[in-house]
């Protein structure tokens, strides 16, 4: 198993600066803005990745188990489309739980390239996967999959992209269109993409999924402040901030925020930031789509929808796209 960290010289480097420096830049920009925000990609340090794994097991958090059920029911269909000797590329790989369903179904996959920003988590998950698939060439890529990527070259036939978990919902529709177009260029001509999307549904069910009774999602959200303290000499007192999640019906998205519970002053990365009571840091959006909207979005980015599968309650959709 080889860890791959570099892009081609003419592309933006996957790690052109240490991860902490990129984090520092985003924190200074986001907390210094009139409306404070932090990119959701920074949730996934080692501690955040572990907390997200816990979220995926919660009763309220239906997306993971629902998507897994759809994948298990239709993995053979995906494998038939991909054909023998496919190269599999996963964007935002995480713990590599769902991709195992595809790997077990594919006929003699040539290689697997998981891409994730959390190096330690990615390497550990890839090593565990390699024990179960010793003949599979696994090359983890540490980097930000929202940026231009140049993947390691592999012999093989069709390239199959995998973007599960409704991570596409973390992007605005314009950003989602850009990502899909970039993914198409990364995967190359004739590629396929398996895309998981959370569907529009009852507001109460959505909000419960992002504000669980056990407080795991709250800990996940507040870990961003803990990470600032750990890596950027932050002085955030987590007891003076609270997790907030709600469905914005006009935008058709869940929003996650961290709310200041008092007027306070915090230092981070050598700078001072003032918070008013009730002021928030906007940390994540999760847009929800109807199946027809997914098809329109894909088409606008150069993809066609070949297959669409949902569960019996129409909570979640898995879509098989091909390059137009």
Exposure letters 280-301 (e unless 16+ CB within 10 A, then b): bbbbbbbbbbebebbbebbeeb
- Looking at residue 317, its pLDDT comes to 98
Backbone angles phi, psi at 210, to 5 degrees: -110, 10
pLDDT tens by residue, the chain, 324 residues: 555 443 332 222 333 345 788 899 999 999 999 999 999 999 989 899 899 999 999 999 999 999 999 999 999 999 999 999 999 999 988 778 899 999 999 999 999 999 988 788 888 889 999 999 999 999 999 888 887 778 887 776 899 999 999 999 999 999 999 999 999 999 999 999 999 999 999 999 999 999 999 999 999 999 999 999 999 999 999 999 999 999 999 999 999 999 999 999 999 999 999 999 999 999 999 999 999 999 999 999 999 999 999 999 999 999 999 997
- Looking at residue 150, its pLDDT comes to 80
- Looking at residue 119, its pLDDT comes to 82
Mapping DSSP onto H, E and C, the string for the chain reads CCCECCCCCCCCCCCCCCHHHHHHHHHHHHHCCCCCECCHHHHCCHHHHHHHHHHCCCCCCHHHHHHHHHHHHHHHHHHHHHCCCCEEEEECCCCCCCHHHHHHHCCCCCEEEEEECCHHHHHHHHHHHHHHCCCCEECCEECCCCCCCCCCCCCCCCEEEEECCCHHHHCCHHHHHHHHHHHHHHHCCCCEEEEEEEECCCHHHHHHHCCCCCCHHHHHHHHHHHHHHHHHCCCCCHHHEEEEEEEECCCCEEEEEEEECCCEEEEECCEEEEECCCCEEEEEEEECECHHHHHHHHHHCCEEEEEEEECCCCCEEEEEEEEC
- CA 11 – CA 33 distance, rounded (Å): 29
Q: pTM, whole model, 2 decimals? A: 0.89
- Looking at residue 276, its pLDDT comes to 98
Domains present along the chain, CATH in parentheses: 1-228+288-324 (3.40.50.150)
Token pair of 37 as six digits: 């925000």
- CA 264 – CA 239 distance, rounded (Å): 12
- Looking at residue 17, its pLDDT comes to 42
Residue 144 in contact with residue 41, Cβ under 8 Å?
A: yes
- CA 8 – CA 152 distance, rounded (Å): 10
């Amino acid at each position: 198993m080889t860890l791959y960290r570099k892009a081609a010289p003419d592309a933006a480097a996957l790690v052109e600066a240490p991860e902490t420096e990129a984090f520092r830049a985003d924190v200074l920009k986001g907390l210094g803005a009139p409306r404070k925000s932090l990119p959701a990609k920074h949730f996934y340090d080692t501690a955040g990745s572990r907390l997200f794994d816990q979220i995926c097991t919660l009763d309220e958090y239906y997306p993971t188990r629902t998507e897994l059920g759809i994948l298990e029911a239709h993995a053979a269909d995906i494998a038939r489309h991909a054909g023998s000797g496919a190269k599999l590329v996963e964007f935002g790989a995480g713990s590599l739980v769902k991709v195992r369903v595809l790997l077990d179904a594919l006929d003699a996959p040539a290689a697997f390239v998981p891409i994730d920003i959390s190096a330690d988590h990615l390497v550990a998950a890839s090593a565990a996967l390699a024990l179960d698939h010793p003949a599979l060439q696994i090359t983890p890529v540490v980097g930000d999959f929202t940026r231009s990527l140049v993947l390691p070259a592999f012999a093989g036939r069709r390239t199959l992209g995998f973007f599960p978990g409704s991570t596409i919902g973390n992007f605005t529709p314009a950003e989602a269109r850009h990502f899909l177009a970039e993914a198409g260029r990364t995967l190359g001509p004739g590629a396929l993409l398996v895309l998981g999307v959370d569907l529009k549904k009852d507001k109460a069910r959505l909000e419960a999924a992002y504000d669980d009774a056990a407080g795991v999602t709250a800990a996940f959200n507040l870990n961003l402040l803990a990470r600032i303290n750990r890596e950027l000499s932050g002085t955030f007192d987590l007891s003076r901030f609270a997790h907030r999640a709600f469905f914005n019906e006009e935008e058709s998205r869940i929003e996650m925020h961290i709310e200041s519970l008092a007027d306070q002053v915090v230092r981070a990365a050598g700078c001072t930031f003032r918070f008013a009571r009730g002021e928030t840091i906007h940390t994540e959006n999760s847009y929800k789509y109807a199946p027809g909207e997914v098809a329109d979005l894909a088409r606008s980015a150069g993809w066609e929808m070949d297959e669409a599968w949902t569960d019996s309650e129409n909570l979640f959709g898995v879509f098989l796209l091909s390059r137009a």
